[in-house]
Amino acid sequence: MNLPPTSTNAAAESLLTEVFGYAAFRGQQAAIVDHVIADGDALVLMPTGGGKSLCYQVPAIARHRAGRGVSVVVSPLIALMHDQVGALEEAGVHAAFLNSTLTSEEAARVEREMMSGRLVLLYAAPERVTTPRFLAQLDSLHERGLLSLFAIDEAHCVSQWGHDFREDYLSLNVLHERYADVPRIALTATADELTRADILLRLQLQDARIFISSFDRPNIRYRVVEKDNARAQLLRFLRDEHEGDAGIVYCQSRRKVEETAAWLSAEGITALPYHAGLDAGVRKTHQDRFLREDGVAMVATIAFGMGIDKPDVRFVAHLDLPKNIESYYQETGRAGRDGLPADAWMAYGLADVVNQRRMIEESPAAEAFKRGQRGKLDALLALAEAHDCRRVRLLAYFGEDSPPCNPGYQNVCDNCLRAPATWDATEAARKALSCIYRFHQHGGQRFGAGHLIDVLRGKATDKVAQHHHEGLSTYGIGADVSETQWRAVLRQLIALGHLRTEGEYNTLEPTPSARDVLRGEVTLLLRETVATPKRGKGARAPGAGRGGKIKPPPLPLDEAGVERFTALKAWRTGVAREHNLPPYVVFHDAALAEMAQRCPSSLDELGAISGVGAKKLEAYGRDILRVLEGEAG
């Protein structure tokens, strides 16, 4: 059954303004909303912060008002459920979630609301949606014409080629088989061509319309630095550029997460650890602090981040190399969801390349899967080693053509901001491979990168003497190349597949293609290594203070405007605490800044500000005007 053939676009835009306080849809949102309202299936690829949620929330509200009943949002993310339900209820939309945080009495109450048809949106995990009990409830709703829409969030989780495969998603094809006339919208922020095809196949969405938005995030600056005491590099980055800002620092291991968080805390930065091995109560406490307080840095494994809607994350830092570009893109996309400038900063080195290669090779997965993972890692390594525009390479991976960064971008990538100097490392690579072959000829031995570099640089170590390597013809032939440069050469040879590492000690072994390098048929052009400025222990960037800084408003404000903005934030903190919500669910900083800048004097003027919907205007309008009048004097 289709909705009445009215102008869905006009009706949807009216809902957007009334409920959410936005004047117009962005990008492809309007086309997606129209398609879903009119019973169409859709696959939506839209970057983090691009407004995916509105693509199913607006149709859900429209269809509910047309008597179509409840929309079910399938999500694996408890944090997202809590945030979105809280935000919807604040906007006057009846929504709820069913997950493990509810008591049996609370869950029963939600189920009654669902079965009555009064609920507009229900959020549930895939493992719950496909249980016999829940399917029986859906059957009943369907028979009464009260099952409106299925939204499958994080749809890449259904694909074995995706970066976050979840087996529970494979059972979601039951939704099409059982309720073929109920429209479905699958959404994800990251999926290459292979993953997209897998989503369509496994969710039986072959007839769905595909909407692919630009993956470009012009407000994010992508930066990669070569590891040279990564902790010190991270600390300089935080103190020089992000003192007092909220952000996420990703590490590969749980141990490194805890050690890094403790170290940053000792350096005066508010940092909390988060990984799956921590007690659930500790994880929740740390997540709540990150969401509700300003200036918290969360140090985490990839267990943290999916479903986090915090808009003012100003940086995402990687102390270890991710597995692939999909992971990197999704993790960095958690920065700057409010559209304001943010940084994606990563430090990586030779050990990262070795570790990621080893994890793939030691995996029990089938060879075809390993081959795919190697290809994905190669693409990420090419991005990290690039000396041209990183944005062009990143977008090309997702099949999108893009010109290099230009002055129109809020944040230009590091390579476009300052083109790196390069050097021809072809001859150095040939020397390194020749030395490895000499090791083989000299007793058939294999060695790791450290010893190889010592021999090439002519360093008289105990190990060199023990193996009599000072007598090799390659001893000292690379004395003119620094240790850092040699590590870059070896990293590139491994990244390009001319070298591989073996065994517990990561010894180096040439691959068949190494002979092409030795014959001079492969050119290696590498970035010049830039010496990292050193500071004494405990030194700070000029103007940095242990107490942090006051974050500037997201819009230019005069002195009176800053006072109004500060007063509005204090008022919002009190409301959020009273409602047990993160402050940004009440109003984003951008909305408060616009209020402070325009200083509306009536409810009509206040209602014209982006993000102020009808329910929020009714609930908070007079309080906001009083705050503004008080600060305006």
Whole-angstrom CA distances from 226 to 184, 415, 491 are 45, 13, 11
- Please report the pLDDT score of residue 246 as a whole number: 94
In this structure, which amino acid lies at residue 227? K
Query: Strands of 220-226's sheet, edge to edge?
Result: 220-226, 342-348, 313-318, 246-250, 297-300, 271-274
Burial of 167 (0-12, 13-18, 19+ CB in 10 A): exposed
Indicate whether 541 belongs to any domain: no
Same domain membership, residue 433 and residue 504: yes
Indicate whether 543 belongs to any domain: no
What whole-number percentage of the chain has pLDDT above 90?
Answer: 56
pLDDT of 421 above 90: no
Say how far apart CA 413 and CA 216 lie, in whole Å.
12
Burial of 551 (0-12, 13-18, 19+ CB in 10 A): middle
Q: How confident is the model at residue 488 (pLDDT cuts 50, 70, 90)?
A: confident
Strand boundaries in 61-120, DSSP class E: 70-74, 95-98
Same domain membership, residue 240 and residue 201: no
Q: Which residues does 453 contact at the CB level (< 8 Å), separation at least 6?
A: 459, 478, 483, 486, 487, 490
Indicate whether 409 belongs to any domain: yes
Residue ending a domain, among 527, 545, 573, is: 527
Identify the residue whose tokens are 């630095």: 225
Residue ending a domain, among 160, 195, 212, is: 212
- For the stretch 429-481, pLDDT in tens is 999 999 999 988 877 788 988 999 999 999 999 999 998 899 999 999 999 99
- For the stretch 129-174, pLDDT in tens is 999 999 999 999 999 999 999 999 989 888 876 556 788 889 999 9
Identify the residue whose tokens are 């952000």: 247
Indicate whether 554 belongs to any domain: no
pLDDT of 536 above 60: no
Burial of 584 (0-12, 13-18, 19+ CB in 10 A): buried
Say how far apart CA 494 and CA 306 lie, in whole Å.
31
Residue ending a domain, among 389, 420, 451, is: 420
This prediction's pTM: 0.79
- Minimal CA–CA distance to 313: which of 597, 21, 589, 549? 589
- Please report the pLDDT score of residue 534 as a whole number: 47
* CATH number of the domain that residue 444 is part of: 1.10.10.10
Say how far apart CA 172 and CA 130 lie, in whole Å.
7
In terms of average pLDDT, the best of 266-275, 296-305, 511-520 is 266-275
Whole-angstrom CA distances from 43 to 61, 199, 201, 505 are 19, 9, 12, 46
Same domain membership, residue 369 and residue 266: yes
- For the stretch 327-345, pLDDT in tens is 899 899 999 988 889 999 9
Say how far apart CA 291 and CA 325 lie, in whole Å.
26
Say how far apart CA 512 and CA 533 lie, in whole Å.
40
Q: Which residues does 183 contact at the CB level (< 8 Å), separation at least 6?
A: 36, 39, 40, 41, 42, 149, 150
- Please report the pLDDT score of residue 164 as a whole number: 67
Same domain membership, residue 428 and residue 413: no
- Please report the pLDDT score of residue 5 as a whole number: 39
Mean pLDDT of 198-204: 93
Same domain membership, residue 399 and residue 252: yes
pLDDT of 614 above 80: yes
Indicate whether 273 belongs to any domain: yes
Identify the residue whose tokens are 């989780």: 157
Indicate whether 615 belongs to any domain: yes
Same domain membership, residue 44 and residue 182: yes
Whether 319 contacts 230, CB under 8 Å: yes
Indicate whether 542 belongs to any domain: no
- Please report the pLDDT score of residue 547 as a whole number: 40
Can you give the residue range of the structural domain that contains 476? 423-527
pLDDT mean across residues, the chain: 88
- The CA angle 413-544-243, to the nearest 5 degrees, is 50
In terms of average pLDDT, the best of 26-30, 146-150, 197-201, 578-582 is 146-150
